[in-house]
Structure 1
Amino acid sequence: MRKYISTGLPMLAALLMAQLPSVAHAASANPAYTVTPYVLPDGVKLEASGLALLPDGRLAVSVRKGEIWILEHPEADPTDAKAVGYRLYASGLHEPLGLLWHDGALYTVQRSELTKIRDTDGDGVADEYLAVAKGWGVSGNYHEYAYGPVLDREGNFWITLNASMGGPVKLAGHRMQEKHWRGWAVSVSPDGKLSPMSAGLRSPCGIAVNGEGDVFCTDQQGNWWSTNPLLHLRKGAFFGHADSLPDAQLPESPVADPGKLPQGITVVEASRQVKGFALPAVWFPYVKAGQSPTGLVCDLTGGKFGPFEKQMFVGEFVLSGVNRVFLEKVGGEYQGAVFRFQDGLQSAALSLAFLKDGSLLVGESNRGWNSQGTRSFGLERIQWTGQTPFEIQKMEAQPDGFRVTFTDEVDPATTSAVGSYQMSSYTYLYHQKYGGDEVETKPVTISRVTLEPGAKSVLLKCEGLREGYVHELVVPGVRSKKGAQLAHAEGYYTLNRIPGK
């Protein structure tokens, strides 16, 4: 017997079925990794909007059009659909954009609610759908997506909600519905209490926790966003998008209403002038580090995915790839660097998860925008070959520059040469206009390079560092001890604070 407590209508739009390629190929510009598309059973349109690894190693996949599928053996040969085993687990959902396994059940966010889904009779098909929390406005506007959930260290669910982008839809005979908490991150306590937490979001379509249990989301370039950010979500933060501010006047809001927002100044100036304004932990320079970041996941594989433990991997929609983010805390706040990681996927990356063997799963769907690639949807598996990739592993802020650590031993001659490095810094405008260019660009002089013991790290002494600015590092000349070039020779560090200043 199926108990259906609360849900929405399924999406009606469908995409044409595409046959997925069946041969693993070397990752573009990343020879230490291979990418293998999953071959799907006939008729299965796996627009993978959320991925959740179950305790027994199975994989749950939410589908944008309202289903959840179980992959019985996701670590089997992806080109053999029978060996992987696909089973429909749940249906009738309203655009689930995220998936989480917690305490014996699957949780997903539909357009209007956080839903708990269980199989109570053990037949392999969900028969209980429970509304855990509601309370945010839904008017029928196409842009009112909801994402998540994820769990913080205290056991609270976090959800991110799109701004509406336009007026509400009014049905005949009905008044306009209040659309509270659009453009907010909200939390849900274990007993189901909904609490608004952070404001100023536009389209925060990726949400995850890092290794310390702090919550992060990506957002999308557009009005009030000159480029894409990675945001550290926390109570009381305002990230800049104005559409969320009417709800800052409600008594339950933890965000202070900043009043009339200035425009045409830089985001650095806005962080000093606008009450409660919080800068992103990381800016993704437009095109250089993608055009539309999506789902993200922290690497907690213990080294099974290469030398990037506890770093964040971020899906890229338009360019159909995956980027990598190193984070650190300076002055108690997160900042860090983004690096390109994987290009050339078959479709837009939408959701990410790690399997038990350490391979990275990428759920894909290009519904909504165009993206690079030859397919409309699918699932791909990125596996580390065991070969050490030659990359910039991390970039850490220092009082007078940066420490740059490589994944392998370097050639002392090329790595110690000042001419092997180039750096500039820039920021972005804060305005209501859609998008924006890099502004106030200046060169950063690297006056000295010091190779540290172990031959994997260098200290770059820099002149002209600026707080709040992106510092773009290009390393065309460095070679490994074995003579290899860097797979990706660029890094983009958001220097919100200079250590010790």
Structure 2
Amino acid sequence: MTILKFTLLITLAMTLVNASNSFADPTKWQDYYNIEKVEYPKTVDPQIGGLTAMKDGRLALTLYNGDLVIFDPDKNTWSTFAEGLHTPLGIVQDSDNSFVVMQKPELTRIVDKDGDGKADSYQALYDEFGMTGNYHEFAFGPAVDSNGNYYIGLNVASNFAGIYQYIRGEYSKFCAPEDKMREWHDSPKWRAGYRKKVTRMFSCAPYRGWVMKITPDGQVTPFASGFRSPAGLHIDPQDKLWVTDNQGDWIGTSPLHQVNQGDFAGHPASLHWLKGWNKKHWDVTPADLMDIRKPAAGLFPQGELANSPTQPLATISPDLFGLPEGELLVGEMNTHHLIRFLPDNEGDTAQGTFIPFIAGQDLGIGNFRMDFSADGALWVGKIHLGWAGDEGLVKITKKDKPIFIVDGVSQVKDGFKVSFNQSLVSIPSNIEITRHTYHYHAKYGSEKVDLTTVPISKSGLNQKGDELIIHLPELKQGQLYTINLANVTDQSGRPLMGHILRYNLNKKNYK
């Protein structure tokens, strides 16, 4: 990529960041949560690619410069555990003296065998996925299930560049000729010539665009396909795998997926590596994919809720952090807030509601990696990778002041039931509801399609006043419903924290 092209991309990214100041409502979140920026030593790289809360209360962080460092919040000390890692964008604790880290070229177990606080063993757990050298071929994860299986996400490549002379793995017969794909080194020629014939994102080496499963004994399974940039992977307490992706070609707006083995999430580049697939990426049409594409569980409206969602994380006890268990929190690179996801599944169909959470300049942007420590603190690590984002480490803790929030959104016949953790004074008089969808096409992103204001037939409260029933003329599958509850307060006059609800209705499930 030329310096000019890179500069233009950075300018665009910063424009999005500046515009994002208005995306999140920063209404007095610090009345309910402490948001502290951790003082960072100048000798430690402030870009955090991986973060895990250790069993003993310390934090293990992988940094963009290739270090693995240990931070002790009680002693406010930093120590280097390992060095020389290659773009490590995820970490989990493996044992008291070892970690598993996702580097760009491999999944690695790193061990301190002699107990001196320094790594002395590096074991490649999986390094058989393909690499062409393309800058966009990041690798994310791992997430770990209760059986010790690891899950990683492999980015597809970008046609802002091509491939290098030496690649790892088989070169796909469905991709453009290798010699043509190397022309990108002559930037003017690439931009004016062959790049125009290359799909926006591509998968020319094995399993780019896939989530892979690696068992404790090293067996590898291509688990699910159809991803563009799966920056966040998480296994929840029920052993369900959640994966975020980023808007782009074939992805109208950024999604959250609940991923099962064999799923196809929608981006066709990865299908080059699906057994029996025989169609080139640029020949694929939406009609070819509709029967195999699994709808996302949640959709982040681009420029409103998120531009680049990152890691999902299951909530913990409300006594520790103030949110109901059974939800997810999701990080976001370009907007000043975190996001709640409240599942409302129907059988195997995953769906639910996004609600903005903890917003404002004190939180900032670049919220890439998160974990809860045993004391209930939420730790947030930031990164920008030379793109939009930020740097540093943030600690978020709950205050004792009661908060007024939505704690559930579910379907009723031709409508929704919104549950609150406090009682309302009266039926809200200014509820606004819209619905829309997005194009599924090869173009980059999508505007809102069929944006419609939905009239309310009637609404009412239950006897206790903590459940709002909203009846509509009908519920329509395959639509993202936006419910605006602005100016709603509880009986103590507290404002509703997170008043815009976005329910992704894949399937009707009212009883």
1:326 equivalent in alignment to 2:326: no
**Distance of 1:440 and 1:396 partners within structure 2:** 23
Structure 1 pair 301–53 and aligned structure 2 pair: CA distance change class (3 A): farther
Q: How far did residue 234 of structure 1 move?
A: 1.2
Give 1:353's aligned amino acid.
D
8 Å CA contact 1:184, 1:201 repeated in 2: yes
- In structure 2, distance between residues paired with 1:92 and 1:359: 30
Provide closer, same or farther for how the CA distance between residues 273 and 399 of structure 1 changes in structure 2, counting only shifts above 3 A: farther
Change (3 A) 1:177 1:273: closer
Question: What's the TM-score once normalised by structure 2's chain length?
Answer: 0.83
> Which has more helix, going by share of residues?
2
Q: 1:359 matched to which residue of 2? A: 377
Change (3 A) 1:273 1:96: closer
Write the mapping of 1:199-238 to structure 2, written as runs, cut at 5 A. Answer: 199-238=225-264
Matched, 1:170 2:164: yes
Q: CA deviation at 1:176?
A: 8.0
Superposition map of 1:67-216 within 5 A: 67-72=67-72, 74=73, 76=74, 83-104=75-96, 105-166=98-159, 168-171=162-165, 177=171, 179-216=205-242
- Would you say the 8 A contact 1:168–1:176 is kept in 2? no
The residue aligned with 1:309 is 325
Residue number in structure 2 paired with 1:378: 392
Q: CA–CA distance in 1 between the matches of 2:166 and 2:42?
A: 41
Contact 1:107 1:114 survives alignment (8 Å): yes
Q: Find the counterpart in structure 2 of residue 18 from structure 1.
A: none
Is residue 2:495 matched to residue 1:469? no
**Structure 1 equivalent of residue 406 of structure 2:** 392
1:242, distance to aligned residue in structure 2 (A): 1.5
Which range moves more in the overlay, 174-183 or 431-440?
Answer: 174-183
Q: Return the structure number with greater strand share.
A: 1
Q: CA deviation at 1:155?
A: 2.6
CA distance in 1 between counterparts of 2:398 and 2:279 reads 46
Matched with 1:49 is 49
Is the 8 Å Cα contact of residues 45 and 65 (structure 2) preserved in structure 1? no
In 1, the alpha carbon distance for the partners of 2:40 and 2:143 equals 27
Give the aligned residue type for 1:44. V
What's the secondary structure of 1:492's corresponding residue? Answer: strand
The CA distance in 1 between the partners of 2:107 and 2:127, in whole Å, is: 7
Q: 1:172 to 1:316 in 2, by over 3 A?
A: closer
User: Structure 2: how far apart are the matches of 1:402 and 1:176?
Assistant: 50
Q: Which residue of 2 aligns with 1:434?
A: 444
Cα deviation, residue 172, structure 1: 7.4
TM-score, normalised relative to structure 1: 0.84
Shift of 1:236: 1.1
Aligned match of 1:283: 299
Q: 1:334 to 1:91 in 2, by over 3 A?
A: same
CA displacement, residues 128-158 of structure 1 (integer Å, 9 cap, x when unaligned)? 1101112210111100000011112433110
- Opposite residue 307 of structure 1, the aligned amino acid is L
Three-state SS of the structure 1 residue aligned to 2:105 is: coil
* 1:64 matched residue in structure 2: 64
Q: Contact (CA 8 Å) 1:256, 1:276: kept in 2 or not?
A: no
* Amino acid in structure 1 at the alignment position of 2:382: E
Query: More displaced, 282-291 or 298-307?
Result: 298-307
CA distance in structure 2 between the partners assigned to 1:239 and 1:202 by the alignment:
9
Do the aligned residues in 2 keep the contact of 1:307 with 1:407 (CA within 8 Å)?
no
Q: Is the 8 A contact 1:49 1:365 kept in 2?
A: yes
Distance 1:301 1:70 in 2: 26
Residue equivalent to 1:13: none
Residue 285 (structure 2) aligned to one of 245, 262, 282: 262
For residues 408 and 500 of structure 1, the distance between their equivalents in structure 2, rounded to whole angstroms, comes to 24
Return 5+ residue gaps in structure 1 as ranges.
1-25, 77-82, 264-269
What CA distance in whole angstroms lies between the structure 2 residues aligned with 1:500 and 1:392? 19
**Cα contact 1:116–1:130 (8 A) shared by 2:** yes
State yes or no: 1:296 paired with 2:312. yes
Alignment partners' CA distance in 2, 1:210 and 1:128? 30
Q: 1:295 to 1:307 in 2, by over 3 A?
A: closer
Paired-residue identity, %: 29
Shift in Å at residue 487 of structure 1? Answer: 2.4
> How much does 1:440 deviate?
0.9
Q: Give, in whole Å, the separation in 2 of the partners of 1:174 and 1:259.
A: 23
Q: Secondary structure at the match of 1:131?
A: strand
CA RMSD, aligned part only? 2.5
Measure, in 1, the Cα distance between the counterparts of 2:502 and 2:346: 16
**1:55-114: CA deviations, max 9, x gaps?**
111111111221111112x2x4xxxxxx32111111111111111113442111111211
Residue by residue over 1:221-269, the C-alpha shift from the partner in whole angstroms, topping out at 9 and shown as x without a partner, is 111111100011111111111211111136xx9x999996434xxxxxx
**Kept in 2: contact 1:153–1:214 (CA 8 A):** no
The offset of 1:361, in angstroms, is 0.7
TM-aligned CA distance change 1:410 to 1:171, over 3 Å = same
For the 8 Å contact 2:131–2:169, the answer to whether it is kept is: no
Aligned-partner residue type, residue 139 of structure 1 = T
Seen in structure 2, the aligned counterparts of structure 1 residues 184 and 174 have a Cα distance that, compared at 3 Å, is closer
CA contact (8 A) 2:405 2:496 kept: yes
Cα distance 1:89–1:406, how it changes in 2: closer, same or farther (>3 A)? same
C-alpha contact 1:321 1:348 (8 A) present in aligned 2:
no
Aligned residue for 1:11?
Answer: none
Shift of 1:27: 6.9
Summarize deviations over 1:422-465 as a string: whole Å, max 9, x none: 11110000111111111011222222223124322122222232
Deviates more, 1:39-48 or 1:174-183: 174-183
- Aligned CA distance change for structure 1 residues 446 and 173 (closer, same or farther; 3 Å): closer
Letter in 2 for 1:88: T
Find the aligned partners of 1:467 and 1:423 in 2 and give their Cα distance.
Answer: 15
The 2-side partners of 1:329 and 1:303 are apart by 25
Query: For residues 353 and 222 of structure 1, what CA distance do their matches in structure 2 show?
Result: 27
Q: How far apart in 2 are the matches of 1:53 and 1:115?
A: 18
Query: Contact 1:474–1:489 (CA<8 Å) still a contact in 2?
Result: yes
- Note closer, same or farther for the CA distance 1:321–1:39 as it changes in structure 2 (3 Å cut): same
Q: CA deviation at 1:210?
A: 1.9
Q: Which runs of 5+ in 2 are unaligned?
A: 1-24, 173-204
- The residue that corresponds to 1:79 in the other structure is none
Rounded to whole Å, the distance in 2 between the matches of 1:276 and 1:173 is 30
Q: Is the 8 A contact 1:303 1:309 kept in 2?
A: no
The DSSP-based 3-state class of the residue aligned with 1:246 is: helix
CA contact (8 A) 1:163 1:182 kept: yes
Find the residue that maps to 1:304 and give its secondary structure.
Answer: helix
Quick check: 2:432–2:483 contact (8 Å CA) kept in 1? yes
Structure 1's 241 and 475: CA in aligned 2 closer, same or farther, altered over 3 A? same
Q: Deviations over 1:355-387 (max 9, x none)?
A: 11111111001223224xxxx410001111122
Q: Residues 257, 454 of structure 1: CA spacing in aligned structure 2 closer, same or farther, 3 A cutoff?
A: farther
- SS for the counterpart of 1:303 is helix
Asked if the contact 1:426–1:440 (Cα under 8 Å) also holds between the matched residues in 2, the reply is yes
